[in-house]
Amino acid sequence: MGPLNFHTRGTGGRVLLCLHGFLGEGSDWAEFADAFLVHSPEWQLALIDLPGHSEEDSGWLCPTADEFSQSLRDLVAAEGWGTAAMAGYSLGGRLGLQTALSFPEVFPVFIGISTTAGIDDEAERARRVDSDSALASRLRSGGDFAGFLREWWHQPVFASPARLGDDLENFVTSRQRRDPIRMAACLETWSSGRMPSQWSALPDYPGSALLLSGDADCKYRSVAAQMQSDFRNAEHHSIAGAGHQLLMEKPQEAAQAMAAFLNQHK
């Protein structure tokens, strides 16, 4: 795969890599980053565009999760950062977790937002592969992409008291910049039915972890609590009045929680 596309916020010496979710882009972290740097100006945030999610990608092929993890490790080395904290939202959390577990000496801190360590049950994994493949086929069909995005937005997992009335159209407008063919490849390659489950590896992670969830996001709040108990050294913070999309719904609160956690793990 080619070099990763990213841009930075802040000029501090400590580095936080930020991975967005499916259909997103690095700038999804922009409001969070501005709030975070008010609390922690000693940091620099690298807002990564996941492969296939940037208009600047050329000659693109979807990397495996292992290949992407290696590219993140190589980025830290190439930029001379030494080590970096890793933060990821949803799909970005799963990719970031695999990276931190693979290279804990490079990523001694992991922060997962509305994310999971994967799927253990084989039957559930197979069902997820089938459902993601069906969605990928729909994306490849050349149909109504805006309609697909609206249906994606209305999935029960995204329901939240914090979403505003105009959020849907803003979401559709911004996500229509994505290439449906590339999104189909990402959906299949990074399906949680295909990526390895990381649950058994959590107790071996030598670093520190923070799990953030919205208190209205029942599924991922429960998952975060379980992940906290499986890590050696982890905290779980549930943000009041929020659902799954914390970067959009409560960026200020998420930034404050992460800054407080990172200030304890210098």
Instruction: For the chain of 266 residues, list the mean pLDDT of each consecutive stretch of 10.
Output: 86 96 95 96 96 74 92 96 98 98 98 98 97 95 92 92 83 92 94 96 98 96 98 97 94 97 85
Q: Give CA–CA dist 111/59, Å, rounded.
A: 31
User: What pLDDT is stored for residue 266 in this prediction?
Assistant: 66
Q: What are the sequence ranges of the domains in the chain?
A: 5-122+196-263
User: What pLDDT is stored for residue 163 in this prediction?
Assistant: 82
Q: Max Cα separation, the chain?
A: 49
User: What pLDDT is stored for residue 81 in this prediction?
Assistant: 97
Choosing among 3.90.550.10, 3.30.565.10, 3.40.50.1820, 3.90.209.20, the CATH entry for 5-122+196-263 is 3.40.50.1820
- Note the pTM of the prediction, 2 decimals: 0.96
Asked if 241 and 221 count as a contact pair (C-beta separation under 8 A), the reply is: no
Structure tokens given for 210: 């923070």
Asked if 212 and 227 count as a contact pair (C-beta separation under 8 A), the reply is: no
Of 212, 3, 188, give the one whose Cα is nearest residue 90. 212
Q: Give CA–CA dist 216/162, Å, rounded.
A: 9
Helix or strand holding residue 73 (H, E): helix 65-78
CB atoms within 10 A of CB 37: 19
User: What pLDDT is stored for residue 70 in this prediction?
Assistant: 96
User: What pLDDT is stored for residue 106 in this prediction?
Assistant: 98
